Amino acid sequence: MDGDTVKLPKEVEVKLVRSPAVAGTFYPASKQELERKVASFLDDTVPQGTVPKALIVPHAGYIYSGSTAALAYARLRPGRATVRRVVVLGPTHRVALRGLALDSAMAMATPLGSVEIDHDAVESIAHLPQVVTNAAAHAQEHAIEVQLPFLQSVLDDFKVVPVAVGNATAQEVAQAIEALWGGPETLIVVSSDLSHYQSNRAAQSSDQSTVQDILDLKMLTNHSQACGATPINGLLLAAARNQLRPHLLGQCNSGDTAGDRARVVGYAAIAFTEAHHAAH
């Protein structure tokens, strides 16, 4: 529309924006409190190295995993004026799904404001046989939503491509990722926690093994390693084909932050950079 704004009836406008589903539970519902919370996490990090092409970040409540997620998002600060498109892939927790699902909304809202969905990018993968449009898969899903406030805090101006990943092969996920690959203006984010509800000691052992597999670009074998094993495996395929190398930025579990050590959930922040940058 050449930048023109079309005024729509209020009831139609509301339907074009995907409203926050977990504000007030996974993260603060107040704009001011959310800004303070995210800033406090980011202020505890020291960004260094090159801006990554891809990230793996956790998606639990901020009280549990926010400090780990911030280790990844702080790395984007030097690229805040460069990154203009963020592809966020997260597993579905509430809706059974075959393939990968796009949202029909025009934007996604958080207490910090709305982020426009990049519909040019959406259309570029909509023709793939494994890709469907399924608003229900996104409506109550937290895995993608919890990433947005961090992105809104470290990037100046960007659009998002939310991709809910259900039952799919690593190759199907990688095909979609590579179709959206772009250049330095495009960031790939995979949203995933690690093991769930083991003892602290057992989780430390199993999560360390899972992280090492990721660092070795080795496919994960099941979802007990990571709830986002499917999008992680797709990213690992794409990373290998595009000469990216992963680096562990930080790792912990809910017992280290705010949870019971008898039943913990594991988290890791991993950045992927071009191989020639990895040597420095």
pLDDT in tens, 166-190: 999 999 999 999 999 999 999 999 9
At 98-113, the pLDDT tens digits run 999 999 999 999 999 9
| pLDDT value of residue 46 | 79
pLDDT band at 258 (very low <50, low <70, confident <90, very high): very high
pLDDT digits (tens, 9 = 90+) for 119-158: 999 999 999 999 999 999 999 999 999 999 999 999 999 9
The class level of CATH for 32-278 reads: alpha beta
Torsional class of 113: left (φ above 0), alpha (ψ -120 to 50), beta (otherwise): left
At residue 14, the pLDDT reads: 39
Instruction: Give residue 4's pLDDT band: very low, low, confident or very high (50, 70, 90).
Output: very low
Note the pLDDT of residue 15. Answer: 56
What's residue 277's pLDDT? 56
Q: Write down the pTM of the prediction.
A: 0.92
pLDDT in tens, 20-69: 999 999 999 999 999 999 999 999 887 778 999 999 999 999 999 999 99
